[in-house]
Structure 1
């Protein structure tokens, strides 16, 4: 029997707080989504002024990073590199801004962010994930 760490509400709250702090320090209105390792939403926070669609996109970025076990930037790079068929892949958001949360070498969840540029979304997501990485 294998054992692994799982995200609890304490960790989800800490991830959301760190991501919020990074976004607010830069004046960015974003939505932050935290998912478990199966891509299921555990927490969501939409900052004031962020467009409602960002809640959907952030959730999909988190789900894709969890299920794919990697940053969603990799998918975006594939598409931008000409692999357009990848756009039809199921349950995958090919936009930068989703990152896995790693504890003791295992992916225990992910963070997805939407609302600003791709690189800024990723910066906020990484700040959230860094709380546990």
Structure 2
């Protein structure tokens, strides 16, 4: 049996704070979601002014990134390239840029999903949060 790392509450709070700081410093109203390696929601922070739909989209992006252990952007790129079958993939609802996995020693500990601004900006916020680890 192997043992592994996981996100502790202090890790989640640190990621959330760093992601929020990145969004606030840029004046971006977003929702930030953090999930564990199985895609289960650990934290959700909808900043003032973020559209209600972002509270659904951010966790979906994070969930997708955690389950496939890669950025959700990879699916958006494939769909935009004509592989629309990914739109029907079971359990993968957040197939838009902005979901970034948290990888340590080759293992996915979870992911951060952000929604509310341009796709690259969503990913920028997620990466800023992860960088705090």
TM-score range, shorter chain: over 0.9
Give the corresponding residue for 1:128. Answer: 129
Shift in Å, 1:86: 1.0
Q: Deviations over 1:8-56 (max 9, x none)?
A: 1100000100000000110000000000000000001000000111011
What RMSD over aligned residues (CA atoms) do the two structures have, in Å?
0.7
Instruction: Give, in whole Å, the separation in 1 of the partners of 2:57 and 2:102.
Output: 18
Give the corresponding residue for 1:36. Answer: 36
Give the corresponding residue for 2:17. Answer: 17
Q: Deviations over 1:62-90 (max 9, x none)?
A: 00000011000000000000001111111
Instruction: Give, in whole Å, the separation in 1 of the partners of 2:41 and 2:122.
Output: 18
Q: Which ranges of structure 1 fall in alignment gaps of 5 or more residues?
A: none
- Give the match's secondary structure for 1:127: helix
Instruction: Give, in whole Å, the separation in 2 of the partners of 1:85 and 1:65.
Output: 18
Give the corresponding residue for 2:103. Answer: 102
* TM-score, normalised with respect to structure 1: 0.97
Shift >6 Å, 4+ stretches:
none
Of 83-92 and 72-81, the range deviating more from structure 2? 83-92
* TM-score, normalised with respect to structure 2: 0.97
Q: Which ranges of structure 2 fall in alignment gaps of 5 or more residues?
A: none
